[in-house]
Each structure stands twice: as C-alpha cells, then as structure tokens.
Structure 1
Amino acid sequence: MRIALIAHDRKKEEMVQLATAYEAILQQHKLYATGTTGTRIMESTSLEITRFLSGPLGGDQQIGAMVARNEMDLIIFLRDPLTSQPHEPDIIALLRLCDVHRIPFATNMGTAEILLKALERGELAWRDIVHEEQN
C-alpha cells in the first residue's frame, strides 16, 4: 500500500506521534510525505519516506497527482481546522480527488488510527482489486 502523510504546522508533532505509535504497521508500506512533515517523521522514527516538496511549495499537489493516477492508497492529512495558515496545503482539492478515486482519507488522529488498524488487519485489501482493474 502507498500511504501519504501530510500535516498542517500545528499538527506536525501529532503526526510524529502517530507515526511513532504505528511505526510497525507503517514500515510495511511505501510512505510519501510533504517535505517538512516527512523530515520530522524520519528524524523521530526509522521509517523511510519519499518526500515531496513542502506543502506551500506544492507537495500536496504532487500527492494529488499520484491520487489522480490511482497511485495512492491511503492519505492521512492531519489538519488544523481552527488556525490553519494561508501558506499551508489546501485540503479541499485533495479531498475531492480522493472521493473521486475512492481513496481512504483521514483528517484527524481518530480516523487515522482506525484506518491504520484496518490496514494492519488487511481490511483495505480491496485497494489491490482497484489496482488489478486498472491494469
């Protein structure tokens, strides 16, 4: 599975905590992240992450391009709904793409944990079928 990790500035520490807590699950998958978020996770864990540009420079759009090509299976975008800054990635376009392409999308710690536990139990294996249909 290919998993993208994105976090608004005030949620980056929470993303690091999530990645640390679920490192054993995440290490079994191909991980992608926006620049700063990916760096913070790699500094705190042994996870290997393909990093894109930081969010303000278009990293979220690079992930969106992968979604449009059906090359992403799960996105965790921890957003700050109360104090997000103008320079931070916009969630709406990415969320719309995920809805169009049936990509699971978590915006908070609770949903992220549920999806990661489902991933561990093999309950997201239907994504493999989506990839087979595409070929």
Structure 2
Amino acid sequence: MKKKKNIAIVAHDNRKKDIMEWVAFNWKELLQHDLICTGTTGKMVEDTLAMSCHEHGAVPPTVARLKSGPLGGDQQLGALICEGKVDMLIFFWDPMQPQPHDVDVKALLRITVLYNIPTASNRSTADFMVTSALFHENYQPILKDYAGYITREVDMS
C-alpha cells in the first residue's frame, strides 16, 4: 500500500446515516486518499465531502462509484480487491436486517480476509484505522501464499 490509499466505503441502508456522520467527522483524513463506493453510498459520500470541503475552502476528492450492492456492487468491489485496487474497506453493515444480497456481502468479507485488507465494520474500528500511524504511510501487508492451493491435484474420478 502506498501512502495514498484506495479506500472503499460501503453502508447498508440502515447504516447510511452512521457512515455519513463518520465521513463528515473524518473528511480531512479521507481527502488525502482515493475513495470507491457502492451505489447510493457513493452519492452520499460525495455530497457529505463536498459540503465539508466547501465549508473549509478545500477541494473535494473524486469518488469512484460502483453499482448498488444488491445490483452487483459488492461483487465489483470484491473483484477490485482481488486485482489489488483496494487497500482498505470501511463497511457499515446492518446486523439486524437481512439483506437480499447476504451471500454477496459474505463473499466480499471473505475476500477482504483472503487478501488481508484492513476492514472496519463499525465506527470504533473505522476510527482506529484512520488514526493509526500506518494510515498515511506506506505499508506492505503480508499475504498468504496460495500457490499450493492453486496447483493442487484434483481427483476427477
């Protein structure tokens, strides 16, 4: 990871207010990085950052917007992680409400673990991430070598 990170920000509907409060509180930290969001969250992040930046005379960052989670945005984000194009994920998911795309959410979270991507699922963890000394520094995560898994023999009988 370079100093300037690619940060994905995602929130389920019942957590969008929480993520917008977090973005508004941490806008100065987020300005220094590239942001990727799914669907409606992306528009809300853009608007929140634009308002915060306007109030302080700063230029808001560009937010790359993917499809909405249920329409494939979670899968798009997972693919970006696999391609090494996402450095960390802030994902405020709703633990109290079943989602129509729960399998996609589970797959996304599995990919973050597989590729050792720092992932925050709540405000406390997200606050710890953005205040870490590593947040604005180069960092090389240790990745597990899956070559043995890829080259394993498969019994086709």
Instruction: Give TM class, smaller chain.
Output: 0.7 to 0.9
**Higher helix content, 1 or 2:** 1
- Normalised by the length of structure 1, the TM-score is 0.85
Instruction: Give 2:29's match in structure 1, choosing from 20, 25, 28.
Output: 25
Does 2:65 match 1:61?
Answer: no
Identify the range of structure 1 (3-12 vs 86-95) with the bigger mean alpha-carbon deviation. Answer: 86-95
Q: Is the 2:75–2:104 Cα contact (8 Å) retained in structure 1? A: no
Does 2:28 match 1:16?
Answer: no
Structure of larger gyration radius: 2
**Corresponding letter in the other structure for 1:125:** N
Question: Gaps (5+ residues) in structure 1?
Answer: 131-135
Runs of 4+ displaced beyond 6 Å: none
Does 2:77 match 1:73?
Answer: no
Question: Gaps (5+ residues) in structure 2?
Answer: 51-59, 144-157
Q: 1:101 to 1:42 in 2, by over 3 A?
A: same
Q: CA RMSD in A?
A: 2.1
Instruction: Give 1:122's match in structure 2, choosing from 117, 125, 134.
Output: 134
Offset of 1:90 from its aligned partner? 3.6
Does 2:15 match 1:3?
Answer: no
Question: Percent identity among equivalent residues?
Answer: 37
